Amino acid sequence: MRFHWFAEVTYPDLPSDYRERYRSAWVTPPARLADPQKVGETYRMFIRLMQLADQVGFDGLTVNEHHQTVIAMTPSPNLLAASLATSTRNAAITIVGNSLALYNPPTRVAEEYAYLDCVSGGRLAAGFVLGTPMDSVFAYGMPPIEVRARFEEARQLILRAWSEPEPFVFNGKYNKLRYVNIWPRPIQKRIPIWVPGGGGSVETWDLVNEHDYCYGHLSFSGLYSSKPLVDAFWEYIDARGGNLNPHRMAFTQVVCLANTEAEAEREYYEAVRYFHRNSAPGNFGNPPGYTTIRSMKASAAQVSLGRSKLTPEDRIRASRGEMGFWEYDEKGYIIAGPPPRVRQRLRELITDLRIGQLIATPHVGNLREEVAAENTRLFGHEVAPYLRDLWADQPDYWTPEASQKLVAQNAPVVRGSDPRSAARKGATAKQAGSSAT
């Protein structure tokens, strides 16, 4: 069981009526609302938080790519990853990922990922994504009907650029390169590849199934919202005789740890509402052609998709910030409270959805740094070690070997057991976690 630290790098100081006045958090948010000094402070805060996550035993530090949005100011996740790669020691750098269709030529991704793998000592997990419609289609002007074909061509080019020993010619439909011969090459001979989605496109499922990539359902709406899609994914893989190892599945979950329930509500409620109120895609969420007809038909045919415990009204209220704090918790959007409660609910989530890579989200919206830092510490010391027994019998091919070893040596373990003596005996994460409750 792996735990990654992730948060959307959200602008923290939007006007309280942002949603009503500007409707979309994406593509067209007025730039005048952001103070670049404050943006810089926000970046530095996230770097500090992720450095802390590295120290308290997280398996991975996760960054992602979005454009022109108030909720994720990381147009190049590789820049943030570079800051982390040289200032952290143990955790994987999980990039989820680069929007391959947007790089021209896509060998840029092969080069930057290779740089990151080298500079981090082989700790890179390389994410390939299509990008949301808001990113790839609206912000970067890609015809929606071309995004997937460009992604696929770029993927093939990048894999060859990493592995071909000699310069080669690439004559693609969208990319024509006479001399492909990138410097540097990655340390890892087989970089773990993650292809997270969220919309349930069957083309993505086919891709991850065929190549045994790590899939990911990256949502911010939790178990009940996502369960129909995640179940459909596993059913799809199972029906095709694919790999059911939980470690090939990642999932995001907002976590709000505190010493008491009252403290959790006091510290996190406003930040949770801030995030949900200010993440609406407006009219930019579903341009024609982005989802293929095949995927539209497959979605309509998936029986499990009708089984959500959330009503359409629930989703609307959640997105408007109209739920109470514990209603957000009850409906799965967040998992909040003291460590024992959070452990229990995460255990249910992880086993119910069959997740081996939990992308915990200890910062959300405009949360204060002190709260996010305490959340991170509590997660590293009081939650993660108690859940490491999960899936311990299954190998993890989707987290870099180097970071697996380092984290196993250095991460906190269950209180009462002695981490240093365990490390000296060469304990693995599996052994360290086997006494968890």
Partner 1 sequence: MKMEKKTVGRLDIRLWSGGTGAPLLYLHGFEHHPGDAAFLNRLAENHLVCAPEHPGFGTSTPLEEYYDIIDVALHYRRLIESWHQGAVDVIGHSLGGMFAAELAVISPHSVRRLVLVDAYGLWLHEHPLPDPFALAPRDLERAKWSDPGKAPMPEPSAFEAPGDADALAIFRAQNLGTATKFMWPIPDRGLNRRLPYIEAPTLIIHGAADGLIPAVYAEAFAHLIPKARVAVIRNAGHLPMLEAEDEFVLTVNDFLA
CA distances from 79 to 98, 101, 227 (A): 11, 18, 33
Span near partner 1 by CB under 8 A; candidates 3-11, 253-261, 290-298, 371-379: 290-298
Q: Is 175 in the site for partner 1 (CB under 8 A)?
A: no
Q: Nearest distance from residue 36's CB to partner 1, in Å?
A: 27
Element (H, E) at 252: strand 249-257
Cβ closer to partner 1: 142 or 158?
Answer: 142
Q: Nearest distance from residue 266's CB to partner 1, in Å?
A: 39
Cβ closer to partner 1: 297 or 424?
Answer: 297
Q: 32: which residues sit within 8 A by CB, 6+ positions away?
A: none
Contact 2, 380 (CB under 8 A): no
Q: Which of 258, 259, 219 is nearest to 349 (CA)?
A: 219
Of residues 376-405, those binding partner 1 (CB under 8 A): none
Q: Is 287 in the site for partner 1 (CB under 8 A)?
A: yes
DSSP per-residue codes, 18-76? HHHHH--SBS---GGG--HHHHHHHHHHHHHHHHHHHHTT-SEEEE----SBSS---S-
Q: Nearest distance from residue 240's CB to partner 1, in Å?
A: 23
Cβ closer to partner 1: 198 or 281?
Answer: 281
Number of residues that bind partner 1 (CB under 8 A): 20
Measured N-to-C along each axis, helices 36-55 and 369-378 cross at an angle, to the nearest 10 degrees, of 20
Cβ closer to partner 1: 38 or 297?
Answer: 297
Of residues 86-145, those binding partner 1 (CB under 8 A): 137-138, 141-145
Instruction: Supply the DSSP symbol for 336.
Output: E
Q: Is 289 in the site for partner 1 (CB under 8 A)?
A: yes
Cβ closer to partner 1: 144 or 338?
Answer: 144
Q: Which of 106, 205, 84, 207 is nearest to 150 (CA)?
A: 106
DSSP bridge partners of 128 = 98
CA distance 306 to 189: 42
Q: Which of 92, 67, 77 is nearest to 284 (CA)?
A: 67
Q: Nearest distance from residue 287's CB to partner 1, in Å?
A: 5
Cβ closer to partner 1: 197 or 362?
Answer: 197
Among 297, 309, 415, 424, binds partner 1 (CB under 8 A): 297
Binding mask 134-173 for partner 1 (x = CB under 8 A): ---xx--xxxxxx--------------------------x
Q: Nearest distance from residue 228's CB to partner 1, in Å?
A: 17
Span near partner 1 by CB under 8 A; candidates 14-22, 281-289, 398-406, 417-425: 281-289
Q: Nearest distance from residue 286's CB to partner 1, in Å?
A: 9
Contact 224, 157 (CB under 8 A): no
Contact 204, 100 (CB under 8 A): no
Structure tokens given for 301: 């045919």
Give CA 327 to chain center in angstroms. Answer: 24
Among 166, 171, 293, 312, binds partner 1 (CB under 8 A): 293
Q: Nearest distance from residue 163's CB to partner 1, in Å?
A: 28
Torsion of CA 62, 67, 69, 73, to 10 degrees: 40
CA distance 431 to 12: 41
Among 76, 87, 259, 283, binds partner 1 (CB under 8 A): 283
CA distances from 18 to 10, 64, 196 (A): 14, 24, 29
Cβ closer to partner 1: 138 or 220?
Answer: 138
Of residues 402-421, those binding partner 1 (CB under 8 A): none
Angle at 90 between CA 404 and CA 186, to 5 degrees: 75
Cβ closer to partner 1: 288 or 416?
Answer: 288
Q: Nearest distance from residue 155's CB to partner 1, in Å?
A: 18
Among 55, 253, 279, 291, binds partner 1 (CB under 8 A): 291
Of residues 300-339, those binding partner 1 (CB under 8 A): 300
Catalog residues that contact partner 1 under the rule CB under 8 A: 137-138, 141-146, 173, 283-284, 287-291, 293, 296-297, 300
